[in-house]
Structure 1
Amino acid sequence: MNNKYDLIIVGGGVLGTFHAFHALKKGFSVAILEKNSKPQGATVRNFGQVVPSGMNQKWQNYGRKSLEIYKSIQQEFDISIRQNGTIYIASNDEEVQLIEELHQINKNNNYSSRILTKQQCLEKYNGLKSSYCKAGLFFPEEVTVEPTKMIHALHSFMIKTLKATIIYNTTIVNVEEQNEETVAITSEGKKYSATKTIICNGSDFKALFPIIYNQSDLIVSKLQIMQTKPQKNYKLNGSILAGLTIRRYEAFEECASWKTIKANENPESFENKFGVHILFKQATDGSVILGDSHEYATAKEIDNLGFDLNMDIDNFMIKEAKKIIDLPTYEIQQRWAGFYSQCKNTDIFERSIGKNIHIITGIGGKGMTGSAGFSEENLQKILNN
């Protein structure tokens, strides 16, 4: 095996994979080194919604570019992309005001969206409750993916068409510069060398650079998500994001009414205490994924979050979900906690070790939506340096 490359990527999740994707498209030789037999972190433990509409303007631009990239790949190879759109359902007058303001913002930004009346929402989304829905804001260009399938399909596509080298079950214990090149050393003592190395393995980079990790502003978010049993004779046309999402997503912070509306909320309410908002997305097997919640700890204190599930949170989310949509069944077949790292003070964690080792992580909940677009720009910045 040739162990010399132009670029090494440590971490085979969506952020690292798309850095590799863009480098391969430029003609560079690339190796992705993934510690597990397949990626198992935040990339596969999420909803699989690609929603640039929920992001601030900077990241919406990355997300819109990501949409182009996802759709382009899907034309060549099935990576589970479905263009079925995203809708935000407003449940009261405050939320209607916010979606109307966001609609105008997106009109100014030339990002396609349209306001749907209550009746249009009820006709489009089977089971949506009239008692909950006041109006909706629909983004037709947005897509869903199957998170447990997408990254594996993307890897297969890159191996087949771009001649990517992806080496699984490979734990990197040290990365250093030697004689104008970078060397990644595995737990088995094997060495891989490259001109540059990019480390995109989430909070796991603490094993490589513990001082940098402990001094960082990284925090870890724990999310609880559920999946119902397959719904019989039921189809959900795209992603539904409800009123609590309107009150949470950063895109709405750019709305004129945002601060006033948030100031009227009770910060001690259950939904604010545990960062709950309600999302629905139907998987290809007919089941519906719903959630989620957010609990936070500093990167150094991640163990304080625990790996158990708080059933009070799950029960609350199911209770709220039933106010929004009548599903044939709310019987749950699977529950899980997802963990992702994000920065407290910046969009993403970026740190260079010397000239050629670059840590890029802490993308938080923006990973599935923003990674493809962000990685293209960020890779060029790294190469220029």
Structure 2
Amino acid sequence: MNTPYDLIVVGGGVLGTFHAFHALKKGLKVAIIEKDKMPKSATIQNFGQVVPSGMDSKWQAYGRESLQIYKEIQEQFDLSIRQNGTVYLASNQEEVQLLEELAQINKSNEYQSHLLTKDQCLNKYPGLRSDYVVAGLFFPQEVTVEPRTMIYRLQQYMQQHLGLQLITNTPILSCQNTDTGVVLESASREVFVAKKVIICNGNEFKTLYPELFFNSDLEVSKLQMMQTKPQNPNYKLQGSILTGLSIRRYEAFYECPSFKEIKAKEDATSSEKKWGVHILFKQALDGSVILGDSHQYASAKNSDDLGGNLDMDIDNFMIQEAKKIIDLPDYTIQSRWFGTYSQCKNKDVFEHNVGQNIHIITGIGGKGMTGSAGFSKQNITKIFNL
């Protein structure tokens, strides 16, 4: 039986890792237990955009706190953070109206943004099509990360500088409250002891608490994404590029006065509705461009219905729509993948306590990369009554 920890986090993704980060910053003894050699689910299968601009007011506050945390760590240890901003590109006057309304909301929230004219957008983003863009809204403080790099570097930083114990290749099959805390047992019968446990392993928590999982209001979303071959060395596409379909989808715009009226006019039978598509672009460090994405949903108990295959009709549709927005020098696709994440149908995050010392925190949905650092900071304070 190992030496007791103040906190064990089950799940080494971004949400679990930042809970561990803030507990360590409070001086607690912390371990992360990850079932695989390294995290390989939603945390690395995403665009790597930290975009508080896309969140509603509550989560924008968490996102802005996250931005500060990312930047503070980046000053000490390279997490692959690049502060190159986020732009939303409007393709018609309805979307321009939403951008103007969001700019006013952000002015009230004291969150910096700048409206861009059509010419400013065309000058700033090479290849952007003149027959698509009408105007833009730019958020200069926002950052991009390389998701397949960031989480490993963050955990490395935490091991070297904060004393994190990272335990990998260790599936946890039992998690039980005791009189003094929690006892966990792995598949290889190794025993771990902690005062508190936080379970942040997405829909994998069904292994520990299947009945709770299958009766929850969680749903699983499957997202398809693609990556082009590296563009020519002279082609630079800065920051996160979000487009008209993103404006019509992201939660920040729900707070705009005109949103409901504009949303009601949309064609409910369109392909973008059917597949939950909104077009995004981000250039990776190697010069390739990541584009996507789509959203297909199933309830927790029916999540296997989403299947494990890529739907090429969806990919082809996304490429077709992307070409209407930006003329990349090379649209040759070198890799395709899908990611999955869980989210709550009726709440921001799934939170459930098993007794006093086991805290299940999952279902953060698409807010993980942007909101986890800020949300976890507040949550650790609450859980440990600090």
Scaled to the shorter chain, the TM-score interval is over 0.9
Deviation at 1:297, TM superposition (A): 0.1
**Alignment match, 2:179:** 179
- Which residue of the partner structure matches residue 62 of structure 1? 62
1:313-328 → structure 2 map (5 Å cutoff)? 313-328=314-329
Residue 343 of structure 1 contacts residue 363 of structure 1 at CA under 8 Å; is this kept in 2? yes
Letter in 1 for 2:325: I
Distance 2:240 2:58 in 1: 23
Deviations 1:64-115 (A, max 9, x none): 0000000000000000000000000000000000000000000000000010
Q: Is the Cα contact below 8 Å between 2:225 and 2:290 reproduced in 1? A: yes
SS in 2 for 1:384: coil
| Corresponding residue number in structure 1 for 2:13 | 13
Which secondary structure state, in structure 1, belongs to the residue aligned with residue 81 of structure 2?
coil
Checking the alignment, whether the CA contact within 8 Å between 2:14 and 2:368 is kept in structure 1 is: yes
Read off the aligned partner of 1:244 and give its amino acid letter: L
Mapping 1:121-270, distance limit 5 Å? 121-232=121-232, 233-270=234-271
Runs of 5+ unmatched residues, structure 1: none
Q: Which residue of 2 aligns with 1:295?
A: 296
For residues 226 and 309 of structure 2, what CA distance do their matches in structure 1 show?
14
CA distance in 2, matches of 1:107, 1:75: 28
How far apart in 2 are the matches of 1:3 and 1:287?
46
Once the two structures are superposed, residues 211-250 of structure 1 have per-residue CA deviations (whole angstroms, 9 ceiling, x without a partner) of 1111100000000000000000210011110000000001
Question: Structure 2: which amino acid aligns with 1:246?
Answer: I
Structure 2 counterpart of 1:370? 371
Structure 1 vs Structure 2 CA RMSD: 0.9
**Letter of the aligned partner of 1:48 in structure 2?**
G
Structure 2 counterpart of 1:380 = 381
- State the Cα deviation string for residues 169-216 of structure 1 (Å, max 9, x = none): 010001001222101110011111010000000000001011111110
Checking the alignment, whether the CA contact within 8 Å between 1:224 and 1:309 is kept in structure 2 is yes
Conserved 8 A contact 2:2-2:191: no
2:4 counterpart of 1:4? yes
For 1:30 and 1:255, locate their aligned partners in 2 and report how far apart those are by CA, in whole Å. 42
Q: What residue number does 2:277 align with?
A: 276
- How many equivalent residue pairs? 385
Q: Shift of the alpha carbon at 1:3? A: 3.4
TM-score of the aligned structures, taking structure 2 as reference length: 0.99
Distance 1:118 1:184 in 2: 57
For residues 11-32 of structure 1, what are the alpha-carbon distances to aligned partners after superposition, in whole Å with 9 as ceiling and x for unaligned?
0000000000000001000000
Cα distance between partner residues in 2 of 1:216 and 1:370: 22
Equivalent residue number for residue 357 of structure 2: 356
Q: 2:116, 2:2 → 1: CA distance?
A: 56
Structure 2 SS opposite 1:268: coil
8 A contact 1:3–1:191 mirrored in 2: no
Deviations 1:292-346 (A, max 9, x none): 0000000111110001011111001001100110101000000001000000000
Q: What's the TM-score once normalised by structure 1's chain length?
A: 0.99
Letter in 2 for 1:374: F
Check whether the contact 1:159–1:166 (CA below 8 A) recurs between aligned residues. yes
Q: Identity over aligned residues, as a percent?
A: 66
Secondary structure of 2:110's counterpart equals coil
How far does the alpha carbon of each residue in 1:116-150 deviate from its partner, in whole angstroms, 9 at most, with x for none? Answer: 00000111111111110100000000000000000
In 2, Cα distance between equivalents of 1:99 and 1:367: 24
- Unaligned runs of 5+ residues in structure 2 are none
Cα distance between partner residues in 1 of 2:222 and 2:211: 23
| SS across alignment from 1:53 | helix
Partners of 1:113 and 1:163 in 2: how far apart? 38
1:96 match: 96
